[in-house]
Structure 1
Amino acid sequence: MSSPAPGTLAPSARRLRALARAELTLLGRNRGVVFTALVVPLALPFSVRPALDQMDLRKQGISIGAAMLTAAIGFSLLFAVYTSLVNAYVARREELVLKRLRTGELSDPEILTGTALPAMTLGLAQALLLCAGCALLLDAGAPKAPYLTLLGLVAGLVLSAALAALTASFTRTVESGQVTALPLVFVSMIGSGIMFPTEVMPEKLASVCELLPLSPAIRLVRAGWTGQLSVSEALGTLATALAWTLVAVFAVRRWFRWEPRR
């Protein structure tokens, strides 16, 4: 069997880069989306600080800094990646951009991935800056298991993009995207350990909330700072994140709409 020639993937990479660059330009022109993606994840963690101060987090081995860091990254996944991509997918579909792209060399996965790359890159950069800022300013300290935080970030970014494409499948207009995205946003904020750690919840409630889509990513991010996750628990959490990602990707392949919903 002959091995693939060097540079076989270059055309695909060039197409993705070109599409991502164009999408980044469009993203920068939408001031509302940029404001939501950049400012909201930075501001919202401070709104949950009073509630965190009332909880006995030290008993759970979690510092205020680590809890606020997790909240900030969670809000970044929800607003910088998920909600902004719901709007992007719907807008490009309704403007017939996706339909025109399908007539060219780009494959369907390349179109969806290229559209998502700017938001995912923004989310990753924001998360890394938040990690550095919280470690210095909120006395969160250095992560005890940084590889878990990195795994959580990757899992959260990929799943957020896939869930955004799935939500866009059932969203008729850009305006209604603000409504269709709310259920996942609210459920994740309250139940996935973003606004407050699942460790402070009753055990039965926590066991249910840990199965929510973004819960594995948030748990891995926080465990990277606290180190309170065994190898078997980390593998189980990662398996849950992978399962949700596979379900979301399958649903996107099955139900994503390329034609305008009129």
Structure 2
Amino acid sequence: MSTRTRTSTSARPTGAEKPGAREHQRTDRAALAARRLRALARAEFTLLGRNRTVIVTALLVPLALPFSVRPALDRMDLEATGLSVGAVMLTAAIGFSFLFAVYTALVSAFVARREELVLKRLRTGELGDGEILAGTTLPAMGLGLVQALVLSVGCAVLLNAGAPEAAYLTVLGVVWGLVLCAALAALTAAFTRTAESAQVTALPLIFVSMVGSGIAIPPEVMPDRLASVCAFLPLSPAIRLVQGGWTGRLTGYEAQGALAIALAWTAVAVFAVRRWFRWEPRR
């Protein structure tokens, strides 16, 4: 009788024995995914530290380039636009960090990992495609975030940029800029044949963003029609949120418009990556 009782009990579904079994399984899967993601990100961070060219580009260029635009800023009538040199250089520094610490570094990383068959081998394991892409981008995005914090403090203290008027908009702009640069880097890598040509294929977005997105030239000093067109460039919404949050000169309507454009570009970039990203070497 006791044997039949044990048999009957063992025949029950697991969910009947433990009502929260599914929730525990989901938690376990999430924990495993987090561990895999941390391991991949740690490996990518190690590889990033060994690439001296990428490190120099990512660390020094965003710090040096803003000072190269200082002479041009001195010739502009920034007071008429309500901007200060410190606020403009802060925006430029964070924008250069987007382009060189995140975008350029990740284009090189994606192409190098693909050509070395690293991405192909990772796909044969337990990692999903999204986890592979996320793990590859995390070190560069973390570097860009730390750089943005350091640059913000440095510009506020050394260039009298002051404190942000709407810090949440600046933070939102930084985060969105990092995410969009990572997505655009994966898309650019899909059309890059070799790691050596990654610097070339990244140039169009770098040049367009520097000139038109408000990194090197504030939109306030552009002709109105040109500024309206440049507002739709990929990085323009993030730069606008960073600067508008710092100066407090961005209205709620303008912030919503920038967020809508940023969301549209993010959706397009994610769709394009899902459609065209290559996991094997280009032949």
Report the TM-score range of the alignment, normalised by the length of the smaller protein: over 0.9
Matches within 5 A, 1:96-245: 96-245=117-266
Deviation at 1:4, TM superposition (A): 2.6
| In structure 2, distance between residues paired with 1:220 and 1:91 | 33
Deviation at 1:8, TM superposition (A): 4.2
The aligned residue for residue 91 of structure 2 is 70
| In structure 2, distance between residues paired with 1:56 and 1:10 | 54
The aligned residue for residue 20 of structure 1 is 41
Higher relative contact order, chain-length normalized (CA < 8 Å, sep 6+): 1
Deviation at 1:61, TM superposition (A): 1.3
Write the deviation string for residues 59-93 of structure 1: whole angstroms up to 9, x where unpaired: 11111000000000000000000000000000000
| In structure 2, distance between residues paired with 1:204 and 1:4 | 54
| In structure 1, distance between residues paired with 2:107 and 2:23 | 36
Determine helix, strand or coil for the equivalent of 1:174: coil
- Structure 1 residue identity aligned to 2:136: T
The aligned residue for residue 11 of structure 2 is none
Write the deviation string for residues 19-65 of structure 1: whole angstroms up to 9, x where unpaired: 00000000000000000000000000000000011111111111100
Question: TM-score, normalised on structure 1?
Answer: 0.98
- Structure 2 residue identity aligned to 1:102: R
| In structure 2, distance between residues paired with 1:239 and 1:60 | 25
- Structure 1 residue identity aligned to 2:106: L
Rg larger for: 2
Unaligned stretches of 5+ in structure 1?
none
Deviation at 1:142, TM superposition (A): 0.3
Determine helix, strand or coil for the equivalent of 1:206: helix
- Structure 2 residue identity aligned to 1:224: G
| In structure 2, distance between residues paired with 1:49 and 1:10 | 48
Unaligned stretches of 5+ in structure 2?
1-18
The aligned residue for residue 9 of structure 2 is none
2:82 corresponds to 1:61: yes
The aligned residue for residue 63 of structure 2 is 42
2:91 corresponds to 1:88: no
- Structure 1 residue identity aligned to 2:61: V
| Number of equivalences | 262
Moved more, 52-61 or 95-104: 52-61
- Structure 1 residue identity aligned to 2:46: T
The aligned residue for residue 6 of structure 2 is none
| In structure 2, distance between residues paired with 1:60 and 1:75 | 22
Question: TM-score, normalised on structure 2?
Answer: 0.91
Pick the aligned partner of 1:51 from 41, 64, 72. Answer: 72
Determine helix, strand or coil for the equivalent of 1:9: helix
| In structure 1, distance between residues paired with 2:32 and 2:127 | 10
- Structure 1 residue identity aligned to 2:51: N
The aligned residue for residue 4 of structure 1 is 23
- Structure 1 residue identity aligned to 2:233: L
Cα pair distance change 1:104/1:8, threshold 3 Å: closer
